[in-house]
A and B are shown apart, each in its own frame.
Chain A
Amino acid sequence: MRATLLPASLAIPAALALPGPAVAQLAVRAETVYTMAGAPLPDGVVLVGRDGRIERVGPAAEVRVPDGYRVLTARAVTPGLVDAHTVVGLAGLLNQPHDQDQLERSNPVQPELRAIDAYNAREDLVAWVRGFGVTTLHTGHGPGALVSGQTMVVKTAGSTVGEALVDSVTMVAMTLGPDVGRNFNNRPGTRARGVATLRAEFVKAREYAAKRARGGKGEPAARDLGREVMAGVLAGDLPALVTAQTAREILAALRLREEFGFRLVLDGAAEAYLVLDQIRAAGVPVILHPTMARHGGTMENATFETAVKLRDAGIPFALQSGYEGYVPKTRVVLFEAAMAVAYGLTVEQALAAVTIDAARIIGQDARIGSLERGKDADLALFDGPPLEHTTHVCAVLVRGVPVSEECR
């Protein structure tokens, strides 16, 4: 998000976003370096600077590792994985009421709910996914409400939200379809009622923004935290992340976008394969459901091959761990990317869906998602082909600091 364009209330105080600790200088040498900025590099080196950023990436024959650098070796290294959409950190391991903060059920429209106020940086699930190479989470309020709240981007390191934070307000999470009514006692009771309610919210937000903009003329509108956020969506500062599994819901989301002109990111999109032309024509990216998501409910027509179909249609997409209500409490994007390969993506395409393409969709590709000079030194080190079931993640670095060195 472009923080400068938002009301001050939306931007987190800069002091909270602490710089990473000073790191020892370090080099990673791997038989294959998946830079995600060009073809994989055989026998490459990644140099990590003291600032936790990537100093240099290149063939081992050309990059001299300076004296005093700690050298980690691996069969393969990739950028730290980016989970394009999760609720981890708001949703906890225990699955008891006190550790489930991803969905507030008092009202189906609550854009004012901030992710930073609910994120538990010490949550065990954060450590779990980190152990499998995930260094960045786009997390926050989950699917299940018409407007469930805000999302944010964090690193999987740090013991407070401030230490973990990358972007305090990234998108506004919305959901279309029958799942919403189930969570809110039939409010809305139908698909069409849900869309009508959302349209009304956007109309009110537009009026609110106009009133606030009038400034001195007449009585200014009182601040409304929710409308403020919806106005941010209308102004193009915040994308709407709309969970829409069936073709009907996907088309409804595209209609809303056309009517109100907001930036749309489709989420879930189980039946995207039925409306590829419409999605492509709208130029909308998709954060696809986990490859192994269960085929039931609104996802009853899901397939393991939608990633391939999005690829073939030229639609930008990323993979996500999504939301799980039971066992397992989260999925792991490393595994979901692997299964996308089993069902037709190439290894590089699947890696892109959990690195650079994911970073681009969440607006962080200038900082993460590929191994390039100046980007954060977030790395995952593997002892074999990264996506094979039996390969291990043997080290994970966040901003140049090893946060996991156990082969998992």
Chain B
Amino acid sequence: MPTAARAARTALACVLALPAAALAQERPLVVRGARILPVAGPPIERGVLVARDGKIIAVGAEGTVELPAGAEVVDATGKVVVPGLVDTHSHIGDGDGGDRSEPIQGDVRILDAIDPRSDGFRAALAGGITTVNVMPGSGHLMSGQTAYLKLRRGRTINDLLFCRDVLRDVCGGLKMANGTNPRGESPWPGTRGKAAAMIRERFVKALEYREKLRAAGTDSTKRPERDLELEILVEALDGRRVVHHHTHRHDDILTVLRLQREFGFRLVLQHVSEGWKVAPEIAAAGVPASVIVIDAPGGKLEAVDLSLRTGAILDAAGVLVGFHTDDGITDSRFFLRSAALAVRAGMAPEKALYALTMAGARMLDLADRVGSLEPGKDADFVILSGEPLALATRVEQTWVEGRKLFDLSDPADRLFAVGGWRAVRDAPFDHHDGMEGH
């Protein structure tokens, strides 16, 4: 790219990023008195967290951490502080991805459709969620590019994105699906075999496209004609963009692993309702799995063998396990409960907390930014009234990059936390609409 154009783009990126930067607090912040569960290390009784300019500077026991002068001090005595939760699969934000024109639409970006002022983001903050992977639905083999969002108070989608420049950066993953949801009349696949063949064909094209790009090198005259979808698949093949693959049934999970082995893209398995049946295979593939925790099986054929034990079984097999809300399927405000039910079914509590935070961050390639309370990371944290998985525990405050964006004691925020008259005006994601379901 010519230097001038690059400079212009960088300038544009800076402009776009400004609102978020301006939001970061200038005065240092000190949270003290709480039991801190940093996830990066053992619990700290009477811990102190220090942040400045939206980043964590120090985390430690009281007396071991230097307190900056002039800091805003939050007394969290008796509370429990955990990292902001990472939801690896959600449909908040009123967005949608591919339309009904064709089953493979990798060129579609959900960031072009998200409403940054959607009430769903405020409800998610009320659930302690600060980072979310907003995905298009699962009614396609490939429904589009997902968006990794930080739940800052945003006026534009740029205020919420992790990436700085939507034209140059990888701003999310790639949503794919198999099983029953993407089936249908032609051009949709009518069988599982056809579904896999269509995806293989597309990735073969992407391999060829990548070869042409490589052959052209820096000679722009030899470059192949731009293809918005193949460009994205090349990012996936190169490991720069993670494939988030909706899959429920044991054999569908293995099909995804087979495709992954053939093409080498980076992969996170999403839902994995029958993951408990193929835990050794998932572990052997070294592929992480984000589990949906549902109160009962059924509702669709491929979820009839869903088990609350999936998280525990995959974890025991050595799989990196995360959780997601799939909001509208479960409510963002009950995300902690998902982990609690996994613990009920045998997962260790510290593993469940890791799954809600650090595991999700790793699955989204954001582990350097979020997922634990460590110096250098974003100051995203949640102040809980008690232990994370206890029934009575409430999310009292949610902080994003050093700013308090949810406070249960504020009546306006409380409305989003509990619902009520005109609390939610979003059109809920329509999961009853046949193939557009999850």
| Chain A residues at the B interface, C-beta cutoff of 8 Å | 92-96, 124-125, 128-129, 271, 273-274, 292, 294-297, 300-305, 324-332, 335, 338-339, 341-343, 385, 387-392
Q: Are B392 and A341 in contact (CB under 8 A)?
A: yes
From residue A12, how far is it (CB to closest CB) to chain B in Å?
Answer: 28
A92-B298, A330-B296 are contacts. A274–B391 as well, Cβ < 8 Å?
A: no
> How many interface contacts (CB-CB < 8 Å) are there between A and B?
120
Residues in B whose Cβ lies below 8 Å from that of A300: 424-425
CB-CB under 8 A from A342, the residues of chain B are 391-394
Chain B contacts for A326, CB-based, 8 A: 299-300, 329, 431-432, 437
Q: A343–B424 contact, CB under 8 A?
A: no
CB <8 Å contact, A325 and B296: no
**Cα distance A92–B304 when bound, in Å?**
10
Report the separation of the CA atoms of residues A94 and B428 in the bound assembly, to the nearest whole angstrom.
24
Residues of B within 8 A of A390 (CB): 340, 343-344, 349, 389
Contact of A292 with B423 in the complex, beta carbons under 8 Å? no
Q: Given known contacts A326-B437, A389-B344, A392-B344, is B298 in contact with A93 (CB within 8 Å)? A: yes
Q: Which residue of B lies closest to A327 (CB)?
A: B299
Beyond A328-B294, A387-B391, is A297–B331 a contact (Cβ under 8 Å)? no
On whether A389 and B297 interact (CB within 8 A), knowing A302-B419, A343-B418, the answer reads: no
Contacts of A392 in B (CB 8 A): 344
Report yes or no: B389 in contact with A389, Cβ–Cβ below 8 A: yes
Known pairs A294-B331, A301-B422, A339-B337. 7 more at Cβ < 8 A? Answer: A124-B297, A271-B421, A296-B428, A326-B431, A331-B295, A342-B394, A389-B341
CB-based nearest B residue for A299: B419
Assembly CA distance A338 to B336 (angstroms): 14
Please give the residue numbers on chain B whose beta carbons come within 8 Å of chain A beta carbons, in ascending order: 294-301, 303-304, 328-329, 331, 334, 337, 340-341, 343-344, 349, 389-394, 418-425, 427-428, 431-432, 437-438
Which residue from chain B places its CB closest to the CB of A291 in the assembled complex? Answer: B334
From B422, which residue of chain A is reached at the shortest CB distance? Answer: A301
Query: How far does the alpha carbon of A273 sit from the alpha carbon of B392 in the complex, in Å?
Result: 23
28 CB-based A-B contacts, threshold 8 Å: A95-B299, A96-B301, A274-B421, A295-B331, A295-B424, A296-B328, A297-B428, A300-B424, A303-B418, A303-B420, A305-B418, A325-B299, A327-B294, A327-B300, A327-B303, A328-B297, A328-B299, A329-B296, A329-B298, A330-B296, A332-B295, A332-B296, A341-B391, A342-B392, A343-B418, A389-B337, A389-B389, A392-B344
Report how far A404 CA is from B220 CA in the complex, Å: 69
Contact A301 B391 (CB under 8 A): no
Smallest CB gap from B426: residue in A: A296
What is the CA–CA distance of A114 and B175 in the complex, to the nearest angstrom?
A: 45
Q: Which residues of B contact A339 (CB under 8 A)?
A: 334, 337
Least Cβ–Cβ distance between A292 and chain B, in angstroms? 6
The minimal Cβ–Cβ distance linking B135 to chain A, given in whole angstroms, is 16
Q: How far is the CB of A357 from the nearest CB of chain B, in Å? A: 20
Say what secondary structure dominates the interface of chain B.
loop
Inter-chain contacts of A335 with B (CB < 8 A): 295
- Complexed CA–CA distance, A305 and B420 (Å): 9
Taking CB atoms, residues of chain A closer than 8 Å to B428 are 294-297
User: What residue in chain A is nearest B303 (Cβ atoms)?
Assistant: A327
With A305-B418, A392-B344 already in contact, the answer to whether A327 and B301 are too (CB < 8 A) is: no
In the assembled complex, the Cα of A343 lies from the Cα of B392 at a distance in Å of 8
- Chain B residues whose C-beta falls within 8 Å of the C-beta of A303 in the assembled complex: 418-420, 423
> How far is the CB of B75 from the nearest CB of chain A, in Å?
24
Say yes or no: A391 contacts B298, CB within 8 Å. Answer: no
Taking CB atoms, residues of chain B closer than 8 Å to A273 are: 420
One of B298, B337, B421, B437 near A328 (C-beta < 8 A) = B298
The residue on B at minimum CB distance from A270 is B419
Q: Across chains A and B, which 10 residue pairs bring their CB atoms closest together, nearest first?
A: A93-B298, A296-B428, A389-B340, A329-B298, A327-B299, A303-B419, A329-B299, A328-B296, A303-B420, A328-B294
Asked if B299 contacts A324 (CB within 8 A), the reply is yes
How far apart are the CA atoms of A388 and B419 in the complex, in Å? 23
Residues of B near A294 (CB, < 8 A) are 328, 331, 428
Distance between Cα atoms of A332 and B296 in the complex (Å): 8
Q: Are A329 and B390 in contact (CB under 8 A)?
A: no
Chain A's nearest CB lies how many Å from the CB of B342?
10
CB atoms of B295 and A95 under 8 A apart: no
**B298→A327 contact, CB < 8 A:** yes
Quote the shortest CB–CB distance from A179 to chain B (angstroms): 12
Q: How far is the CA of A295 from the CA of B415 in the complex (A)?
A: 12
Q: How far is the CA of A125 from the CA of B298 in the complex (A)?
A: 8
Closest chain A CB from B425 CB (angstroms): 8
Nearest residue (CB) in A for B438 is A327
What is the CA–CA distance of A92 and B392 in the complex, to the nearest angstrom? 33
Q: Tell which of B334, B341, B438 has the most Cβ of chain A within 10 Å.
A: B334
Taking a contact as CB atoms under 8 Å apart, the answer to whether A301 and B419 are in contact is yes
Which of B294, B296, B337, B420 sits near A301, CB closer than 8 Å?
Answer: B420
Contact of A128 with B301 at beta-carbon distance under 8 Å, contacts A292-B331, A389-B340, A389-B389 already known: no
Distance, CA A243 to CA B419, complexed state (A) = 20
Cα distance, A389 to B334, chains bound together (Å): 12
Contacts of A295 in B (CB 8 A): 331, 419, 423-424, 428
Please tell me if the beta carbons of B298 and A94 are within 8 angstroms of each other in the complex: yes
Alpha-carbon distance between A274 and B297 when the two chains are bound, in angstroms: 34
Known: A326-B437, A342-B392. A301 touches B423 (CB 8 A): yes
Of B301, B331, B394, B432, the residue contacting A94 (CB under 8 A) is: B301
Which residue of chain A has its CB nearest to the CB of B394? A342
Point out the residues of chain A lying under 8 angstroms from B341, CB to CB: 389
Q: What is the distance, in angstroms, from B254's C-beta to the closest C-beta of chain A?
A: 22
Contacts of A93 in B (CB 8 A): 297-299, 304
Q: How far is the CA of A389 from the CA of B328 in the complex (A)?
A: 21
Residue in contact with B298 in the complex, picked from A124, A296, A305, CB distance below 8 Å? A124
Min distance, Cβ B299 to any Cβ of chain A, angstroms: 4
Residues of chain B within 8 A of A129, CB atoms compared: 296
Chain B CB within 10 Å, residue with most, of A329, A335, A387, A391: A329
Residues of A within 8 A of B390 (CB): 388-389
Interfacial chain A residues near B344, Cβ < 8 Å: 389-392
Expressed in whole angstroms, the minimum distance between the Cβ of B332 and any Cβ of chain A is 11
**A94 and B328: CB pair below 8 A?**
no
Cβ of A300 to closest chain B Cβ, rounded Å? 6
Residue of A whose beta carbon sits closest to that of B326: A327
Most buried by A among B341, B343, B349, B428: B428
Bound CA–CA A389/B419 (angstroms): 22
Q: What distance in Å separates the Cβ of B349 from its nearest Cβ neighbour in chain A?
A: 8
Q: How far is the CA of A271 from the CA of B301 in the complex (A)?
A: 34
Shortest Cβ distance from B291 into chain A, in angstroms?
14
CB-based contact A389/B304 at 8 Å = no
Q: Which residues of A contact B340 (CB under 8 A)?
A: 389-390
When distances are taken between beta carbons in the complex, the residues of chain A under 8 Å from B389 are 389-390
| Closest A residue to B308 using CB positions | A408
Which residue of B297, B391, B418, B427 is within 8 Å of A128 (Cβ)? B297
Once the chains are docked, how many angstroms separate the CA of A385 from the CA of B391? 10
Chain B residue nearest in CB terms to A273: B420
Closest Cβ–Cβ distance, residue B435 to chain A (whole Å): 13
Q: Which residues of A contact B331 (CB under 8 A)?
A: 292, 294-295
Tell me the bound Cα distance from A111 to B390 in angstroms. 44
Q: Tell me the complex Cα distance, A389–B300, Å.
A: 25
Bound form: Cα–Cα A304–B431 in Å: 22
Residues of A contacting B432 in the complex (Cβ-Cβ under 8 angstroms): 325-326
Closest CB in chain B relative to A219 CB, distance in Å: 49
- Could you say which residues of chain B place their CB within 8 Å of the CB of A305? 418-420
Q: Complex formed: what's the CA distance from A34 to B390 in Å? A: 21
Query: Roughly how many angstroms separate A303 CA and B423 CA in the complex, as a whole number?
Result: 9
In the complex, what residues of B have CB within 8 A of residue A95's CB?
Answer: 298-301
